[in-house]
Each structure stands twice: as structure tokens, then as C-alpha cells.
Amino acid sequence: MTSLKLTIGSPWTPYGLRDDPYFQQALQPRTDRSAARPASLHVGRDRELTLLANQIVGSSTSRAIIQGDAGVGKTSFVSRLKTTLASHAVLTHEAPVRVQYAMGPREFIGEVLKVLLQIRGTEAAALRGARPASSRTAAPAPESAKETTFWQRLRRIVEGEDSMAGGVSIAGVALQQERIRIPAELKNGSLFAELEDALTYLSRDGSRRILIHVNNMEGLHGMHARAAANLMQHLRDAFLFEHSHWLFVGTTGIEEDIFRVHPQVGGIIPLAMSLGPLTPDEVRLLLEKRYAHLRNWFGFIEPVGAQDAASLYARYHGHLRDFLRLLSGAVQHYAVTAGSGSLTASQVVRTMAPTYWSEKLTKRITAEDARRLAATLDGQPFDAEFRVADVVVRASINQAHASRALKRMLEKHVIHETRRQGKSVFYRVSHGDDTVALGLTS
């Protein structure tokens, strides 16, 4: 019996790369090359970036919506925006404020105040010399005693504080001491005044702006979306505070489902920006920039040619995350079976087809329906249309069985209707992952 010798190591080293260039995590709001995913790797959407940045820099307060389909690159776009604004007297934060459907106004403002405390803490560290101020901005001015007292009180309100308590003997010697946690005071009263004061202090008399990034609106539907819409209505006045610039980010549809439900809210948010998919040329440039950022500068080989990869991107209909996941998986699978080497688009599909068949396609439809679909599309391009009659002929089943099979595939979103011509209904495979599972290479 022959044993398999395993070779453990990074699959990217033979390509002359330090790490996976097909990472699916969002870019970070930093440009330094030491960052793992700097915002300088962002590609495209320059018009949208300029429009939004000009609105923030050119007004004392603003509100905007950014929406787009899942995986289109919204968070990376916001990271690039934050990086751009950092050199224009705009204070930003990395982790967004997250909306929960059961959240009340006080809890929401409490989360915003935590972000403002983090911004203030960064500035305080710069003042102490623990973290030097950016060369592009002036060092922050020292705080007044009144301002310091305000921030101390605010931290106690939204985060709580530690206090030391101990027992003392008759002789005056402490026998024990313990740390007591005083909880946050978030249960009673309004925090609107604290929010307004915090924004005023951070703005340094209006010379700076504060960008507040609100996220986690991807899965709010039905009654949850309505609850979020009502929350926005309760918070309307807070969104109008001077020096604050609110950026609401979520999936396509949040504009109508959350922000246009109440006219009082919709009227103060004139800018709603929908991010569409990148073009194939932009995807090619995106990969070239990632290769350049991660390469070791010797023995470099493109794991998947940037132009070949761009041709594969079309089948994903703009879902950048799933597309990058395909490339990463293909290279790693190929490295185990065949060693290193630049993969063509057809090799990527052939390498990943068995995995996607078992882990993606047949988890949603039966193996029998999957085989019928594969027989129908055998030898066809990935975007080929087909009818019930084509399933009958190519899968060798009767019309009733073919119609029921297509109905099941429609319900699981494996296929979608594209057009009608007379009595004929035409269909097409819906997702890039499914076209890979079916081995459709062109």
C-alpha cells in the first residue's frame, strides 16, 4: 500500500506571494503598506467617492445612504472614503455602529457615544505622545478641565467604571481590597444632550467634522425593517446635530424599507447612493493591485491571470466576494493536486466543479435534479438559455417531470426566468457558484 506524503506550507509561496491575494475581508481604512488590506487597494467608484466626500467636507452636517447587493464591496468603499476624509479634518472610526432591530433610541445613542469616546481616546493618546499625530493634521489641542470632566462622566454613563473597595482592621491596616464594577447608567433619561456636547467638543469649535458609520442593515426585513424605520424616526433630531455626518450602509432596499417610511426622516436624507458591480476591467485592475501589494518581488507568477479572472467574473453578476472565494479555492486545490502554476479560467472551473457540486448545488436541489440540469447544459456556455423542451430532449424525461424539476429549481433560486416568447419560457442558471458546479467553462 502506497502512503501519501503530505507537504505542508503556504500555497502562495511558490507564486512569490506573501499571502492570499483573493481575500474576501473588507479593506481597512488605512493606506500604509504595512496594513494587511489597505484602502489604497480599492478600485473604481471614484465619482461616488468624490460626490460623498464633497458633501461631508462642504457642509456642517449631512446624512447619506449607501446601499448595494451583498458582496458588492460596500464596506471597502466606506474604508476608502474614511481614509480620504482623514486628511480633510474629518474624524472617523474603524468599526461601525451596528443597528439591532430591537434597539431603542437610548441604546443606539449609547453605541454612538462609545464610538465618540474611542475617537477622543485616540486623540488623548496622541497628546500624551503614545501615538504621534498624523503629519497631515495639527496635533490636538489640550483639553480644558471642563471638557475632561465631561468625558469622564460620559464614560461612566455609557461604559461604567471600576472602583476599589477594601476592609480595614482596627489598627488601620487594610485587610483586603477588591475591584467593584459600577455598571453603565444607560437605563434612564435621554442622551441627546450628551451626544450634542460630545460632537461639539470633538469638532473643536466647528473646525472639524465627525463621520459616524452605521451598519448591520443587511438582514432587516418585514417587521424588523419597520422597527428600524421607527428607530430612525425617534432619532431624527440627533441626526441633525451640527458637526455630525451620518453614513447609513446596508443592502439594496434599505432606502425604501427603512429611511423613506417616515417623511420626517426621508426629508433630511437627500443622498442615497446605490453601488453597482465593478466592471471586468476594474476587477482586472483590482487583482493587479493586490498581486503588486503582496508579491515578494522574486519568482512571481500570477496564480490566476488577471485577464482570465476578469472573464470569470461575469458569471457572478457583481458578487465580488463569491468570485474571490472561487479563485482562492481553485488555487489551493490545484496546489495540492498538481503543484504551482498559473491557472486559466477553464482550469479554475474544472478544479472547483466537484467541490461546488457536492457542497453547494446538491445541498439545495436533489442530485437527480442536478444531473438533469447538467445534461441539459452539457456543452453549452455558462449563460445559455434553455426551455422545458430542452430538458425533455437532453435529460431524456417526459414533459411533466421536466416542468416539475424546473419548478423546484426556481424555488431554490438555482435558475431564473429570463424571457417569454410566445408560449415558450426561457431559463438560465442563476449563480456563478452553480455554473461552476455544472462545469460550464465558457
pLDDT of residue 170: 46
Put simply, whether the predicted model's pTM sits higher than 0.75 gets the answer: yes
Does the residue 14 lie in any domain?
Answer: no
> CA–CA separation, 270 vs 404, rounded Å?
47
* Poorest-pLDDT segment among 181-185, 200-204, 321-325: 181-185
**Among residues 247, 274, 301, which one ends one of the domains?**
274
Q: Answer yes or no: do 321 and 262 share one domain.
A: no
Q: Answer yes or no: do 262 and 312 share one domain.
A: no
* Poorest-pLDDT segment among 105-119, 184-198, 277-291, 333-347: 184-198
Give me the helix-helix angle, 367-377 and 388-395, nearest 10°: 100
Q: Do residues 395 and 342 touch, judged by C-beta distance below 8 A?
A: no
Q: Answer yes or no: do 312 and 201 share one domain.
A: no
> CA–CA separation, 266 vs 42, rounded Å?
30
Does the residue 8 lie in any domain?
Answer: no
pLDDT of residue 69: 86
% the chain with pLDDT above 70: 86
Judged on CB neighbours under 10 Å (0-12, 13-18, 19+), 149 is exposed
Q: Answer yes or no: do 270 and 300 share one domain.
A: no
> CA–CA separation, 347 vs 351, rounded Å?
6
Q: Answer yes or no: do 55 and 188 share one domain.
A: yes
**Among residues 227, 255, 274, which one ends one of the domains?**
274
| Nearest one of 171, 127, 133, 163 to 148, comparing CA atoms | 127
Q: What backbone phi and psi angles, to 5 degrees, belong to 365?
A: -125, 165
CA 351 from centre of chain: 28
* Poorest-pLDDT segment among 133-137, 224-228, 371-375, 384-388: 133-137
Which residues touch 84 (CB under 8 Å, ≥6 apart)? 49, 53
- What would the grid cell of residue 217 be? 442593515
Taking only Cα atoms into account, the Rg of the chain, rounded to an integer number of angstroms, comes to 27
Which residues touch 132 (CB under 8 Å, ≥6 apart)? 126
CA 375 from centre of chain: 37
Give me the helix-helix angle, 192-203 and 105-128, nearest 10°: 30
Q: Answer yes or no: do 48 and 196 share one domain.
A: yes
Widest CA span in the chain: 101
β-strand 415-421 against 271-274: which pairing, if any? Answer: unpaired
Q: How far apart are the first and last CA of the chain?
A: 40
Parent domain of 37: 22-164+176-274
Does the residue 249 lie in any domain?
Answer: yes
Q: Name which residue leads in pLDDT, 388 or 317.
A: 388
Does the residue 420 lie in any domain?
Answer: yes
Does the residue 372 lie in any domain?
Answer: yes
Q: Answer yes or no: do 293 and 181 share one domain.
A: no
Q: Answer yes or no: do 188 and 328 share one domain.
A: no
Does the residue 157 lie in any domain?
Answer: yes
Find the angle CA(379)-CA(381)-CA(386) to the nearest 5 degrees.
85
pLDDT of residue 133: 45
Q: Name which residue leads in pLDDT, 181 or 193.
A: 193
Q: Do residues 159 and 184 touch, judged by C-beta distance below 8 A?
A: yes
User: What DSSP state is assigned to residue 315?
Assistant: G
% the chain with pLDDT above 90: 54
> CA–CA separation, 267 vs 99, rounded Å?
21
Q: Answer yes or no: do 153 and 249 share one domain.
A: yes
| Nearest one of 63, 58, 54, 56 to 238, comparing CA atoms | 63
Q: Do residues 276 and 68 touch, judged by C-beta distance below 8 A?
A: yes
pLDDT of residue 1: 47
The enclosing domain of 120 has a CATH number of 3.40.50.300
Residue carrying C-alpha cell 485616540: 122
Q: Do residues 217 and 251 touch, judged by C-beta distance below 8 A?
A: yes
| Amino acid (one-letter) located at 169 | S
Q: Do residues 342 and 302 touch, judged by C-beta distance below 8 A?
A: yes
| Nearest one of 322, 284, 319, 320 to 304, comparing CA atoms | 284
Does the pLDDT of residue 221 top 90, yes or no? no
Does the residue 5 lie in any domain?
Answer: no
Report the number of distinct structural domains present in the chain: 2
The enclosing domain of 294 has a CATH number of 1.10.10.10
| Amino acid (one-letter) located at 266 | G
Band of the pLDDT at 183, cuts 50, 70, 90? low
